[in-house]
Structure 1
Amino acid sequence: MPKRRNLSIEERAAVVTLSEEGYSCRSIARRQKISLCAVQGILRKKSETGTVKDKSRSGRPRATTAREDRLLYRTSLSNRRATSRLLKRALQDSTGCHVSSSTVRRRLNSFGLKGCVAAKKPLLTEKHKKKRLEWCKERQDWTQEESGYEGEATKDTILIVLLQR
């Protein structure tokens, strides 16, 4: 059985208009390139409800409004390390909206923000900082030939080339 395609409001309105102009259901179906049953269904719907628009769909209403979603987004951007639980509490305090942390994650995901764990890396110790400074001071007055860098060079570009080695 083929899948039905939903006709747009304009297509349905065209069917109703053609019917009001006196065309038969069969000729409307041929002219609009839709099935006879579809034409009959549209005309039946128009006579019963007075409109050809779809009824509102069933389903659970959203827990947050678009404004609350934007607030979550802005809060998340202002504090990139905030967890979904912290963002949930912030939303609850500012708007009184009670949502779960998974709802917060879904809303942020819809904005393209995905949670991740920050990479662990050791911090620089005082010993590391001193060694770096010594290394840079030793090479501070190097010429372009000494650095091995070819091209237009400044002290900054020479230092960058040396750091990359």
Structure 2
Amino acid sequence: MLPRQKLNEFERGRAVAWFQDGVPKREVARRLHVSISVIVRLIQRFTATGRVQERRRPGRPKKTTPREDCLIERLALQTRTASSSIIRRQLRVATNTNISQQTIRTRLHGFNLRSRRLAVRPRLTPAHRAARRPFCRRHVRWTRQQWSQVLFSDESRFTLNHNDDRLRVWRHQGKRYIDATVQEKVAFGGGSVMVWGGLSAFTTEHPCFMYRVT
């Protein structure tokens, strides 16, 4: 893990207190997991000003207000497949604020929203969902020997010559499988290569593999 380059106000106060108690700067940096240069600049600033607060930095002010930032987040969550260019146009219509697509992405990153591939899962009917829990309860105590008699199979489609319509969505980290960021699919064929495979184990030493291409 790379060392951090910033400290909050409480950590800056602790760093100065440790230094005044005789703790070396390098040890202070190790305790707070920052580079030594951060501690050196902090001690220099405290020696010169008697304060641990960072000086205000000059720079271009933000082009969006906090209210507009919240609107950007809401637009992304309302239509998770919307690209940054679409959100930019919607914001301009709603608030007459014209900003770049990169600024849109930066604001969304500030809300911990990243553009990710849709998670894919089989389309489940209500009957499928109702049957899953009883199935798990019946098999939760199965032994390896019992599972070795089962054939596990799956199939995949490989499309080589055209756009596969893979969508991206805005989502928070750790929320991949919520309904709003999942694409349900059913089995399909035609115009592509389908590969079907199965795996079973009659014994743990001699597994059995099968596959088929259609």
Q: TM-score, normalised by structure 2?
A: 0.34
Q: More helix by proportion, 1 or 2?
A: 1
By relative contact order (CA 8 Å, sep 6+), the higher-ranking structure is 2
Q: TM-score, normalised by structure 1?
A: 0.42
